[in-house]
């Protein structure tokens, strides 16, 4: 009697009928995963709470902030606050410190949190509140400074000193800069002024002694302010400093004795040639409110939620400075697109729009012969757009760095030139609630060589399930030009946010949940959130041992498994015949104490068969393959 061995190494497939699956593909692989370089299918581990005491409300966003020379941090976003805890396996959250807690409260309407790192500081972007920069202390500060919204007032008679003569009708312009300085007196950040916030005085031939009054302070974290002025008949922004004072001081006097340019430091500007015209603009333009960004060529590349089609970038020496011409739009001339996510990839950056994706080859600089931001990007033709700032992750099939991201129609992978779909095995719209995909999260788990896709199941409005996309070379499917991942799903695990953190030298996935708890994943055997706990269910494809129209008899059914002392499982065969409903499951309870091919002593007679195995709250169970002993009955099912 021939033996038919049924491997389980090619993942679940729902995009093709069960009768069309290749050997090794499965119709069901629930709460299951592969270890790298192994065909054995394992039951997933559980989750353990990081914070024993849940936070007061749902965790909406979460991130890992790693620091050099200081303790790395877990940062979560809930309610109207960022919270932080020392990175580890257990801990508790406290307020993320700031100069004034009231200044740093959040709007409480955000849905995602993106993060990027530069020079031992992390930028938090949630798309609603001003971006935050987190230092290793850990403490938060605002990203950049708000632009001036009012001009200073100037009294030409009250200043100290001898004054200077301002001829008629010469002019003199004044503007202010708010600053944040550290204890050593170094300027950390500067605000920006514009033509509308400049005050100009006109000479009469008399001596003037200008006193410049500070307008209402707009930046709550400002520690100092300074006054800049032009020479006579000069124009903004060409000027130099006449004085600086603590933010509480009301005025600064212009003590020049001639109307020449002040002797202080020059106002920081940049110049660029654009279409043959030279523009001079303030260097320290205001930082945008962003929902996504990454570091590229030593600049912070991010979106501006106030201008959703625009990408902006800082200078390459200061992530707080955004000159007004450092921007470009995405999309083509026929369709408006919106910036959703930004990721650096080797020596390029990829801009993921709502409807398409774009490759950024380099950043234009003012020192270029011609400053032309629009010419440094190109569209990746026919690639679909991305659904969320946190639904993109870098990884590699071993052939160079790739970016995987969630689109409305599947998970795509790109190198910035070409793209492919790696979820062809999923019947996407039957498995995923596409209308709620803006809540999806995608992270790369490098230790397990898999992408973890947290998604809303049909009928759900937040991620309640996870799919594992196994990309180790042992689990990659397809060809060199069409690589796909073995996928196991649904993993019955929910998450509002997820991140990978290196704790004790090991990469671990953590998930942030609606119950106010951060969980360490894949540890123990308890699933604390999903009702019913872990349910390991595996079913093979459909086999016709005797061919179409011919009955076959399964004399015995074996389950080859790894040792799982004390664990029990149920093995079964589903019998299928043309014109009939599936025969009720023919099952057998098995003890899994030893590594072996355990017989079930089940017999079945049918035209085709699906072999299955199930276990509730297992820990852990590894299935190598099914095997059936078959003898054709020789009885044709044809009428």
Supply the Cα-derived Rg of the chain in whole angstroms. 32
Strand pairing of 310-313 and 251-253?
unpaired
DSSP notation for 288-309? PP-S-EEEETTEEEEE-TTSTT
Helices (H), 322-476: 428-431
CATH architecture for residues 47-144+287-533: 7 Propeller (2.130)
The DSSP output letter for 260 is: S
Question: Cα(3)–Cα(611) distance, rounded to whole angstroms?
Answer: 14
Whether the per-residue pLDDT at 1 is higher than 60: the answer is: no
Query: Regarding predicted confidence, which is higher, 346 or 169?
Result: 169
Structure tokens belonging to residue 415: 């190198």
Q: How many CA atoms lie within 13 Å of 554's alpha carbon, on the beta-carbon side? A: 30
The answer, yes or no, to whether residue 66 has pLDDT greater than 60, is yes
Of the ranges 22-36, 230-244, 428-442, 588-602, which one carries the lowest mean pLDDT score? Answer: 588-602
Query: In sequence order, what are the residues at sequence separation of 6 or more whose Cβ sits closer than 8 angstroms to the Cβ of residue 551?
Result: 577, 605, 606, 607, 632, 633, 635, 636, 637
- When pLDDT is averaged across residues 77-83 and rounded to a whole number, the result is 94
Q: Between 309 and 601, where is the model more confident? A: 309
Domain ranges, ordered by start, for the chain = 3-44+536-636, 47-144+287-533, 153-275
100 has a pLDDT exceeding 70: no
Name the phi and psi angles at 489, rounded to 5.
-170, 165
DSSP assignment string, 473-521: TTTEEEETTEEEEEEEEEE----SEEEEEEETTEEEEEEE-TTS-EEEE
Average pLDDT over residues 584-607: 86
Q: At 65, which helix (H) or strand (E)?
A: strand 59-65
pLDDT at 277 over 90: no
Residue 370 has pLDDT above 80, yes or no: no
* pLDDT reading at 478 higher than 60: yes
pLDDT at 634 over 70: no
Confidence of residue 95 (pLDDT cuts 50, 70, 90): very high
In angstroms, the CA 608 to CA 503 distance is 49
CA torsion sign, 43 to 48 to 54 to 58?
negative
pLDDT-derived band at 635, boundaries 50, 70, 90: low
Could you tell me the pLDDT band of residue 639, with boundaries at 50, 70 and 90?
Answer: very low
pLDDT in tens, 127-148: 999 999 999 999 999 999 999 9
Among 126-130, 275-279, 563-567, top mean pLDDT goes to: 126-130
CA angle 396, 482, 626 (to 5 degrees): 85
Whole-number pLDDT of residue 273: 78
- At 219 the pLDDT is 96
To the nearest whole percent, how much of the chain has pLDDT over 70? 96
pLDDT band at 15 (very low <50, low <70, confident <90, very high): very high
For the record, the structure tokens of 368 come out as: 């270029």
pLDDT for residue 267 is more than 70:
yes
pLDDT at 378: 85
436 phi/psi in degrees, rounded to 5? -110, 20
> Could you read off the pLDDT of 547-557 as tens digits, one per residue?
787 888 888 88
Q: Is the preceding peptide bond at 138 cis, omega within 30 degrees of 0?
A: yes
| pLDDT value at 481 more than 80 | no
Mean pLDDT, the chain, integer = 92
Mean pLDDT score, 2-21: 92
Instruction: Work out the percent of the chain whose per-residue pLDDT is above 90.
Output: 79
User: What is residue 575's DSSP assignment?
Assistant: E
Distance from the first to the final alpha carbon of the chain: 27
Short-list 103, 83, 200, CA closest to 145: 103
pLDDT exceeds 70 at position 584: no
**Nearest Cα residue to 19 out of 577, 607, 542:** 542
3-44+536-636, CATH topology level: Jelly Rolls (2.60.120)
**Is the bond into 387 cis (omega within 30 degrees of 0)?**
no
Whether residue 638 has pLDDT greater than 70: no
What's the mean pLDDT in 458-467? 97
Among 189, 72, 54, 191, residue whose Cα is nearest residue 122: 72
Give residue 633's pLDDT.
61
Return the pLDDT at 516: 98
Res. 397: pLDDT tops 90: no
């Amino acid at each position: 009697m021939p033996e038919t061995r049924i491997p389980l190494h090619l993942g679940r497939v729902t995009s093709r009928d069960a009768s069309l699956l290749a050997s090794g593909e499965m119709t069901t692989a629930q709460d299951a995963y592969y270890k790298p370089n192994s065909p054995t299918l394992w039951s997933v581990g559980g989750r353990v709470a990081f914070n024993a005491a849940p936070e007061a409300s749902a965790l909406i966003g979460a991130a890992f902030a790693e620091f050099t020379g200081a303790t790395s941090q877990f940062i979560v976003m809930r309610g109207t606050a960022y919270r932080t805890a020392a990175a580890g396996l257990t801990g508790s959250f406290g307020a993320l410190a700031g100069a004034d807690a009231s200044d740093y409260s959040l709007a409480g309407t955000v849905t995602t949190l993106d993060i990027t790192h530069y020079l031992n500081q992390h930028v938090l972007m949630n798309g609603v509140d001003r971006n935050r920069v987190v230092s290793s202390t850990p403490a938060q500060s605002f990203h950049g400074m708000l632009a001036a919204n009012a001009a200073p007032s100037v009294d030409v008679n009250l200043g100290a000193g001898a004054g200077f003569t301002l001829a008629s009708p010469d002019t003199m312009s004044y503007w202010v800069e708010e600053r944040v300085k550290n204890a050593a007196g170094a300027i950390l950040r500067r605000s920006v002024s514009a033509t509308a916030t400049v005050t100009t005085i006109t000479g009469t031939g008399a001596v003037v002694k200008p006193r410049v009054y500070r307008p209402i302070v707009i930046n709550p974290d400002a520690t100092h302010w300074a006054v800049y002025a032009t020479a006579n008949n000069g124009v903004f922004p060409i000027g130099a400093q006449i004085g600086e004072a603590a933010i509480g001081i009301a005025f600064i006097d212009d003590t020049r004795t001639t109307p020449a340019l002040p002797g202080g430091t020059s106002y920081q500007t940049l110049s660029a040639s654009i279409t043959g015209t030279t523009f001079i603009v303030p260097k320290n333009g205001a930082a945008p409110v962003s929902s996504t960004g990454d570091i590229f060529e030593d600049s912070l590349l991010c979106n501006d939620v106030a201008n959703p089609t625009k990408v902006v970038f800082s200078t390459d020496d200061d992530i707080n400075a955004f000159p007004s011409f450092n921007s470009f739009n995405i999309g083509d001339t026929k369709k408006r697109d919106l910036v959703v996510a930004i990721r650096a990839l080797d020596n390029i950056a990829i801009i993921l729009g709502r409807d398409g994706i774009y490759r950024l080859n380099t950043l234009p600089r003012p020192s270029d012969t011609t400053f032309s931001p629009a010419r440094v990007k190109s569209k990746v033709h026919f690639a679909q757009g991305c659904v969320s700032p946190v639904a993109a992750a870098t990884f590699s099939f071993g052939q160079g760095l790739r970016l995987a991201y969630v689109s409305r129609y599947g998970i795509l992978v790109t190198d910035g030139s070409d793209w492919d779909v790696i979820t062809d095995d999923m019947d996407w719209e039957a498995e995923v609630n596409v209308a709620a995909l803006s809540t999806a999260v995608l992270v790369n788990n490098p230790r397990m060589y898999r992408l973890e896709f947290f998604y809303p199941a049909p009928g759900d409005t937040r991620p309640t399930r996870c799919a594992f996309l196994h990309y180790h070379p042992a689990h990659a499917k397809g060809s060199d030009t069409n690589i796909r991942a073995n996928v196991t799903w649904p993993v019955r695990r929910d998450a509002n946010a997820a991140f990978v953190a290196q704790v004790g030298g090991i990469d671990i996935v953590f998930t942030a949940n609606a119950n106010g708890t951060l969980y360490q994943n894949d540890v123990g055997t308890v699933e604390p959130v999903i009702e019913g706990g872990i349910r390991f269910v595996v079913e093979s494809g459909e086999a016709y041992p005797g061919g179409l129209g011919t009955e076959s008899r399964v004399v015995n059914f074996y389950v080859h498994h790894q040792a799982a002392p004390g664990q029990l499982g149920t093995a079964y065969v589903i019998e299928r015949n043309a014109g009939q409903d599936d025969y009720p499951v023919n099952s057998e309870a098995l003890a899994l104490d030893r590594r072996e091919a355990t017989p079930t002593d089940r017999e079945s007679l049918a035209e085709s068969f699906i072999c299955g195995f199930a276990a509730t709250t297992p820990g852990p169970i590894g299935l190598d393959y099914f095997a059936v002993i078959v003898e054709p009955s020789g009885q044709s099912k044809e009428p």
